[in-house]
Amino acid sequence: MPPTSTLWHLEPHTQGKHLVLRKYLDAWLPIMSSWSGRILFIDGFAGPGQYAGGEEGSPIIAIRAHAAYAAAKPLNSEVVFIFVEKDSDRADHLRQMLASIALPSKTSVQVLTGAFDETLTSVLDDVDAQSTHLAPCFVMVDPFGVAGTPMSVLARILGNLRSELYISFMYDFINRFSTTPEFASNLDQLFGTPDWRYCSSLQDPDARKSCFYDLYDAQLRQAGAKFVVRFELYQGQRLVYAIFFATQHPKGCDKMKQAIWKVIPFGDFAFRAAAPGQLTMNLTAASFALLRQHVLTEFRGKGWISIDDVLDFVSSDRTPFHTGHLRKCGLVPLEDSGQLLVDPATRRRKHTFPPGTRLMIP
Beta-bridged to residue 305, according to DSSP, are 359
Cβ 198 vs Cβ 207: under 8 Å: no
The pLDDT of residue 127 is: 73
Which secondary-structure segment (H or E) carries 205?
helix 205-222
Cβ atoms < 10 Å from Cβ of 338: 8
Q: Where are the alpha helices (DSSP H) in 34-115?
A: 58-72, 88-99
Task: Please tell me the predicted confidence (pLDDT) of residue 282.
Answer: 57
Cis? peptide before 265, omega within 30° of 0: yes
**In this structure, what is the dihedral angle of CA atoms 330, 294, 322, 261, given to the nearest 10 degrees?**
-90
pTM, two decimal places: 0.92
pLDDT along the chain (362 residues), means of 10: 85 83 90 82 95 94 91 83 96 96 92 95 79 81 89 93 91 88 92 97 94 96 95 80 92 92 71 60 67 94 96 93 93 95 94 96 93
Domain ranges of the chain: 12-273, 285-360
How far apart, in whole angstroms, are the C-alpha atoms of residue 354 and residue 346? Answer: 8
pLDDT at 235: 76
What pLDDT sits at residue 61?
94
Which helix (H) or strand (E) segment holds residue 206: the answer is helix 205-222
pLDDT of residue 278: 46
140-173 burial code (b ≥16 CB/10 A, e <16): bbbbebbbbbbbebbbbbbebebbbbbbbbbbeb
Q: Going by C-beta distance under 8 Å and a sequence separation of 6 or more, which residues neighbour residue 168?
A: 17, 141, 142, 143, 241, 242, 243
Sign (positive/negative) of CA torsion 63, 8, 151, 126?
negative
Right CATH number for 12-273 from 3.40.50, 3.20.20, 2.40.160, 1.10.3470?
3.40.50
Q: Which residues contact 285 (CB under 8 A, 6 or more apart)?
A: none
